[in-house]
Structure 1
């Protein structure tokens, strides 16, 4: 039976692969329009040979070029569209003109003067700090006052539409986002990602792209968006480098040291970075469960000794003017040694006195390690802007994870003691391979993109465990049991999209992505073998209207899928103590999300109206049992959510000495639940306000002061009620040594008000929680840059960012 299933599945995959290949190679040449003319010297009236004549597409920035003949003639072929035409000679722009190409065009004889530019030259205006494109918002950092004020992590705080809190990067009104550097995903935990971004100087950033509804080209997975950080690259025949370090005093001390290096010589370029961090991290955790027989209040702060190293290297070789080849290697490893001593007093409701208690000692050792390799090719097929990119990706993730606990349960009246002990070991290994092809084909009627991707993932888990439960004598014998869990996943995807401008006012972009998924979850010990096979379509739509030069309206729609993380699918149970356990769910199904957004931007003011429908959303949920006082933390497809909201952003930089980014978002949420015991629908508002301000304190622009504040109002999140939270942060920055050295002093969450506080009622048991992530700190950071300072932008995208986003490290 299984053999027949596998044959059918293999047959489906073969048909799909054949269809994918035919789809990718089945495009034909489209018509080309001609632009011709002749270039002569105005003074001598003689033709100018070997002058460059170029057409730059004003939308895609694709460049088509040619060289004038000995008679000064030139001929360019391009698809219909709007272009900037230029004549360049010996590095000087001699002539420029904006043209709209709808038919063959003869520019006639163009007279130019070598000594100076003519009045006809169109001078390109400086880009706006905030720039709205049809499918994303671009924060042009190099044109803002933040360009020399800190690191990338600080830049994300002032990027429009983002919320950075407790080392978590999210999109306002939505969930967490995936972060890319030059179109390459960074799959790290929240803390590791924050540390990595803090190791990159803001001066090395060209722009930050906030993609709220990713187009069809990107994977459909994820209910939120993408953030793409475009770094600069060393100018040709030059190099630059930077060294950075910081000392941070939280409850305990932390420090970090790292650097980056960029090199570009002839056809070869390399960009590399490395960062080492070490220190102690402390987290406060307070949980309460109001069981019928008493209040169980657990205080379980933990301390983690951490050593981490991350490194990245990108190499690129320009094989020819139309073909570049590159590779990327990403490494990350962190050693965590966690100790805790949870204490759970149990109170009598009538007397308020402690009747019983649990006291534990715990330890957790884990070493997540990631190796990621990308090989890529980018090929220009002709001078019309047609190109193809090919990405091959492979990554491995390993995490030997050991958790132990040992404790005593005490009853005060009459006095008695019982003991408990447990061990949980999980050796997890994940492998992923993907191949991705993207094609761009500008045509007369639209700019067309299409492509496909194949992904294969495996997750193997070897589990060893022991849980004594409550016994009358200290536990000395630990008979270890063994379980296993394996998860296999194959995904094949095809996509196509087309964009077109209708005059100078209207723009339209439509896309469709098809994804076919086959999964298998199995465990020999549990007798488990679960198959899942589904194919879904994911449409995207973007409509934009430029009312005036400063006013834009847009409408976006996208359908997304949220697949369970590998850890969430593991059905094996491990215990925190005899009364608390954590388990996954091999039967989890993907959830689907529909996003609709209407936006209006006027100068530096943006308004977004959004509506989101989330069906069969899964998450970890605490399920208490009143008769046993046991709480199971498990994963369920348990909630359907509708969210209506409005987001306002105002970016102010009218004064050279002050820039301010201000956000306000409010939404109304309706959640319906499907749990073991029926729960009432959850309805309510959520609102957040934030303001990030930078002040230049001297005319040399070497001394800066920053003032940041955010406030989250009470609200609802799924089955949880959330409480207020806020944070005030200050910073001073000083640039010296010709602005090559940056010294920054930061004080974060000064009043310690950013704790996450929630409460919920499940199975008629009220549960409350308070978690504080040690966000209050004082940090001194120093950086020094050297080498060539002239840099230009270079970007590339890998093919497996979605799969690396699901390792749930």
Structure 2
């Protein structure tokens, strides 16, 4: 008996003992191959162990005894394959390989593609472009394939609005606040932009047509880098100055980054509307003169505490001061005589002081040698805004003569806080890669609103007796998910997932003790299937169900008056919209073709509703229509010449909407957008570069409105000096054609709107870099690079 126990003890130790595999990867002339990836496979499609060769081409793997397949690859190319039997330590000696891609002193000879396609997303490597030099994150999104920016609203081509993430962290802000944040982040700090039209189940279901994930630059191993920039921008009316700084560091177990950026300038927004009432034409001209000062800072740090534990944090702050001056003129014409019968003029101001503070703490734990891990994220953000919007004016009627006065003010002290916690597990097994986890989120919005509107009076208004009321909104969300990814032997790969979200929402007015509850839960399935019959030919089929929740600003019932006849307000009764997205994509070499279909239910947006009896116009956010969209899009990258790289996109779709309200009718029609972004190298030293960017949107329909055609042309010239100094000169919207003109009909009243956001400008930008040269030599692509990016590494 004792002998049997002793034999069992010896066998158990033999079976579980770690065996060493070592070797040296060299070329045919025995030159060491550095930064090659050595992978050890068992029976499944995923490696059970991997390592990167050192500068001498050497590697050492430790794993339990058994039968395995050893593969060595570099930059996606398989260099060596061998079946091995491990029973004791194995030294493979020198391993001769072919097709090795050498590293130059500065860069890798294989240039990273500007546009990459992964199973669930399109990756735009913006660091390889020059068109955004001196620009901000919003400028970067404007040239991202498949993304459209219209009136500073971010959409995916052929679809509705999206949600934006920063390093995999959702930005919980409304459109105006999000725009201000993106404008404060220099494009120089961005590494890549991911367009995720079918997000995996681990991501929130929020974002009706997908997600846009902005990844900031990280330091390479054993390096540091400091980038300093300054720019001057001149618009037609106002200039803008900017300073940017970004520091990144990675040494031993510590990596960190810090950026501080400041903008000071102004913008002049041209706005005009014509409302065709039965008894007269109302023509409102209301240009806005904005002066802004923006300060943005981001600090992140990551520390490798043990070989199995990585921890870190990110802190983001955004301070904004915006003052708006609006001189409005409303002329009322008689339909019969075409003469002006009344002139209403007013001066309005808006003093906005929003501040944002956001903190993220994360931990990553390695669970096993096969790549299993647990990721824990805890987030908190605080948004505060003290807004004041005073206005006053006069009304003059001409027949008979009459003069009246009006005055008012709207103050809103808003506080938004959000706390969330998330746990994600990634467990590779022999037959698939499994992921599961959950998230809880608690949001609390408080608004202290003070308002007064005098309406028309015979005498100038001197007193402002304010009326106060409190409005609050609470939203709690709990979510769990499970997903799986599997690569089959016949070049087929699948990624499926299911997410469940439970939401409790409550809006309330404290003064009248009135509240509205909105509780709901939904399942959000998703799948991506790809088939690769040939190396450069890929078929993909995907589906996802999404939700679009109203922003906190859209839910706020606060009323802002333009004049006594016209006002803007939110809607606390808004319901979420639900969306089903289908896509079929075929990629062949540098061409990607996509067929898509989406069904949007309960879509909400801002609608200008005129009352034909009183001529009062209220601009309110409402759930307006259901919509179907059928489309095809093309992305083609042309880089046959070393001196010219061209990224081209085309999107054509047909939309059909059905109105949910009686005041307007849904419409249907075709939409087409063409865009091209071109980089040219103008000299042999590659120090003089030129970018030409152009897009054109044909007349289109969207929901219940028709929009006129618009376009934009931008040219950027860049000069590189000693690899450290970059000088850029950019001219944007050269022909002043980036205008927004649309014509809705609501309550039987036809309306015309003409907007121009002062997009034409000239910008001079200088950027200087300094840091360790090693950062330009080493570029390690490890098997878990995407996972490291998720935690800021």
- Shorter-chain TM-score bucket reads 0.7 to 0.9
Looking at structure 1, the residues matched to 292 and 132 of structure 2 have their Cα atoms a distance apart, in angstroms, of 30
Q: Is the 8 A contact 2:46 2:430 kept in 1?
A: no
Residue equivalent to 1:466: 452
Describe the superposition over 1:634-680 as per-residue Cα deviations: whole angstroms up to 9, x where unpaired: 12112100011111111111111111111110111111112243x33
Shift in Å, 1:575: 2.2
Counting only pairs closer than 5 Å after superposition, residues 242-641 of structure 1 correspond to structure 2 as 242-250=227-235, 251-641=237-627
Looking at structure 2, the residues matched to 599 and 33 of structure 1 have their Cα atoms a distance apart, in angstroms, of 46
Residue equivalent to 1:12: none
Q: Is the 8 A contact 1:158 1:661 kept in 2?
A: no
Residue equivalent to 1:118: 96
Residue equivalent to 1:763: 747
- Check if 1:219 corresponds to 2:204: yes
Looking at structure 1, the residues matched to 484 and 258 of structure 2 have their Cα atoms a distance apart, in angstroms, of 35
Looking at structure 1, the residues matched to 198 and 68 of structure 2 have their Cα atoms a distance apart, in angstroms, of 26
- Check if 1:198 corresponds to 2:181: no
SS for the counterpart of 2:183 is: helix
Residue equivalent to 1:780: 764
Looking at structure 2, the residues matched to 339 and 493 of structure 1 have their Cα atoms a distance apart, in angstroms, of 44
Looking at structure 1, the residues matched to 247 and 319 of structure 2 have their Cα atoms a distance apart, in angstroms, of 21
Residue equivalent to 1:241: 226
Looking at structure 2, the residues matched to 626 and 444 of structure 1 have their Cα atoms a distance apart, in angstroms, of 68
Looking at structure 2, the residues matched to 160 and 82 of structure 1 have their Cα atoms a distance apart, in angstroms, of 39
Describe the superposition over 1:553-579 as per-residue Cα deviations: whole angstroms up to 9, x where unpaired: 100100000111112222343322111
User: Cα RMSD between the aligned structures?
Assistant: 3.3
- Check if 1:714 corresponds to 2:699: yes
SS for the counterpart of 1:200 is: helix
SS for the counterpart of 1:192 is: helix
- The change in CA–CA distance for 1:537 and 1:336 in structure 2 (over 3 A counts) is same
Residue equivalent to 1:685: 670
Looking at structure 1, the residues matched to 427 and 265 of structure 2 have their Cα atoms a distance apart, in angstroms, of 51
Residue equivalent to 2:80: 97
Looking at structure 2, the residues matched to 268 and 286 of structure 1 have their Cα atoms a distance apart, in angstroms, of 54
Looking at structure 2, the residues matched to 333 and 159 of structure 1 have their Cα atoms a distance apart, in angstroms, of 27
Shift in Å, 1:152: 6.7
Shift in Å, 1:728: 1.2
Residue equivalent to 1:130: 115
Looking at structure 2, the residues matched to 253 and 523 of structure 1 have their Cα atoms a distance apart, in angstroms, of 43
Runs of 5+ in structure 2 lacking a partner?
1-14, 27-34, 54-58, 103-109
- Check if 1:76 corresponds to 2:42: no
- Check if 1:700 corresponds to 2:685: yes
Residue equivalent to 2:30: none
Shift in Å, 1:132: 2.0
SS for the counterpart of 2:188 is: coil
Describe the superposition over 1:434-481 as per-residue Cα deviations: whole angstroms up to 9, x where unpaired: 000000000122100110001001000001000111111111121111
- The change in CA–CA distance for 1:749 and 1:146 in structure 2 (over 3 A counts) is closer
Shift in Å, 1:280: 1.6
Larger CA deviation: 275-284 vs 521-530: 521-530
Q: Is the 8 A contact 1:34 1:105 kept in 2?
A: no
Looking at structure 2, the residues matched to 544 and 118 of structure 1 have their Cα atoms a distance apart, in angstroms, of 34
- The change in CA–CA distance for 1:82 and 1:596 in structure 2 (over 3 A counts) is farther
SS for the counterpart of 1:342 is: strand
Residue equivalent to 2:39: 55
Q: Is the 8 A contact 1:66 1:76 kept in 2?
A: no
Looking at structure 2, the residues matched to 147 and 136 of structure 1 have their Cα atoms a distance apart, in angstroms, of 22
Q: Is the 8 A contact 1:186 1:193 kept in 2?
A: no
- The change in CA–CA distance for 1:376 and 1:281 in structure 2 (over 3 A counts) is same
Runs of 5+ in structure 1 lacking a partner?
1-31, 44-50, 88-94, 800-809
Q: Is the 8 A contact 1:305 1:336 kept in 2?
A: yes
Q: Is the 8 A contact 1:516 1:534 kept in 2?
A: yes
Shift in Å, 1:281: 1.4
Q: Is the 8 A contact 1:163 1:170 kept in 2?
A: yes
- The change in CA–CA distance for 1:789 and 1:726 in structure 2 (over 3 A counts) is farther
Shift in Å, 1:233: 2.7
Shift in Å, 1:272: 0.4
Larger CA deviation: 647-656 vs 432-441: 647-656
Shift in Å, 1:86: 7.7
SS for the counterpart of 2:554 is: helix
Looking at structure 2, the residues matched to 467 and 232 of structure 1 have their Cα atoms a distance apart, in angstroms, of 49
Looking at structure 1, the residues matched to 213 and 49 of structure 2 have their Cα atoms a distance apart, in angstroms, of 23
Shift in Å, 1:633: 1.2
- The change in CA–CA distance for 1:80 and 1:307 in structure 2 (over 3 A counts) is farther
Looking at structure 2, the residues matched to 40 and 681 of structure 1 have their Cα atoms a distance apart, in angstroms, of 68
Looking at structure 2, the residues matched to 505 and 593 of structure 1 have their Cα atoms a distance apart, in angstroms, of 31
Q: Is the 8 A contact 1:185 1:798 kept in 2?
A: no
Looking at structure 2, the residues matched to 335 and 41 of structure 1 have their Cα atoms a distance apart, in angstroms, of 59
Residue equivalent to 1:742: 726
Looking at structure 1, the residues matched to 239 and 696 of structure 2 have their Cα atoms a distance apart, in angstroms, of 27
Residue equivalent to 1:17: none
Looking at structure 1, the residues matched to 282 and 389 of structure 2 have their Cα atoms a distance apart, in angstroms, of 23
SS for the counterpart of 2:184 is: helix
- The change in CA–CA distance for 1:658 and 1:33 in structure 2 (over 3 A counts) is farther
Looking at structure 2, the residues matched to 177 and 397 of structure 1 have their Cα atoms a distance apart, in angstroms, of 21
Q: Is the 8 A contact 1:80 1:445 kept in 2?
A: no
Looking at structure 2, the residues matched to 235 and 164 of structure 1 have their Cα atoms a distance apart, in angstroms, of 32
Looking at structure 2, the residues matched to 80 and 178 of structure 1 have their Cα atoms a distance apart, in angstroms, of 47
- The change in CA–CA distance for 1:584 and 1:79 in structure 2 (over 3 A counts) is farther
Q: Is the 8 A contact 1:97 1:121 kept in 2?
A: no
- The change in CA–CA distance for 1:33 and 1:486 in structure 2 (over 3 A counts) is farther
SS for the counterpart of 2:715 is: strand
- The change in CA–CA distance for 1:66 and 1:772 in structure 2 (over 3 A counts) is closer
Looking at structure 1, the residues matched to 153 and 83 of structure 2 have their Cα atoms a distance apart, in angstroms, of 45
Shift in Å, 1:304: 1.2
- The change in CA–CA distance for 1:653 and 1:158 in structure 2 (over 3 A counts) is farther
Describe the superposition over 1:591-626 as per-residue Cα deviations: whole angstroms up to 9, x where unpaired: 100000110111111111110000011111111101
Looking at structure 1, the residues matched to 198 and 36 of structure 2 have their Cα atoms a distance apart, in angstroms, of 39
Looking at structure 2, the residues matched to 462 and 221 of structure 1 have their Cα atoms a distance apart, in angstroms, of 28
Match of 1:660 among 634, 646, 658: 646
Q: Is the 8 A contact 1:248 1:255 kept in 2?
A: yes
Q: Is the 8 A contact 1:59 1:82 kept in 2?
A: no
SS for the counterpart of 1:567 is: helix
Looking at structure 1, the residues matched to 66 and 519 of structure 2 have their Cα atoms a distance apart, in angstroms, of 42
